[in-house]
Structure 1
Amino acid sequence: MNEIVTKEDLRQFGLLLLDKIQAVFKDKDSGRKEPLEPEWLKSKAVRKLLDISAGSVQNLRMTQKVRFKKVLGSYYYNKEDLLKLFKDESN
């Protein structure tokens, strides 16, 4: 019997997987004093962190100045690349 997997099924699986991964890291880091910061940031977090527009974030992506991933329609940007890019430009 064939079953069709829908986008909603994949979205739910992704959320479940993310919860499980976060639980593993939470258990490993329970002895840490500072919280584990995400390595990848969503576009909204990038705009807030760097105080830039959505167009500027898109420009960084299109010019490939920072690494990014697209997951379920959302873009995620590498935090280390962003901080390095703007640290270099301020010097």
Structure 2
Amino acid sequence: MAIEVVTKDDLEAFRQTLLNDIRSLLANNKPEAKEWLRCADVRKLLKVSTGTIQNLRITGKLKSQKIGGMHFYKLTDIQNMLSGKNN
């Protein structure tokens, strides 16, 4: 049975290789922007409460599609509302 000695230089080279591999994985794995968002996603994006989203929906400032009891919001509608564009 052979004894192998691991030096600090070996560990540093391994660390650099590992970091480079992680960076390349993260660079290739960018999240895609969703076309439709749920209420929770819109709340996080706008940093508002559920009641505020409901008020925006009721007043017609933010359109939604209700599917199976859940409201979905189009990302472009949210961006247009924020920029002040009217459809």
Do the structures match in fold with TM over 0.5? yes
Q: Which runs of 5+ in 2 are unaligned?
A: 1-28
Residue 55 (structure 1) aligns with: 51
SS of 2:34 mapped into structure 1: coil
Distance 1:36 1:54 in 2: 24
Taking structure 2 as the reference length, what is the TM-score of the superposition? 0.57
Distance 1:84 1:69 in 2: 17
Deviations 1:53-87 (A, max 9, x none): 11110011111112211111111011111112122
* Counterpart residue identity of residue 50, structure 1: L
Judge conservation of contact 1:66–1:78 (CA < 8 Å) in 2: no
Q: Percent identity?
A: 37
* Counterpart residue identity of residue 51, structure 2: G
Larger-gyration structure (1/2):
2
Deviations 1:6-57 (A, max 9, x none): xxxxxxxxxxxxxxxxxxxxxxxxxxx8543211110000000010111110
Q: Which runs of 5+ in 1 are unaligned?
A: 1-32
Q: How far did residue 88 of structure 1 move? A: 2.6
Figure out how many residues of one structure are paired with residues of the other and give that number: 58
Which of these residues, 58, 72, 81, is aligned with residue 85 of structure 1?
81
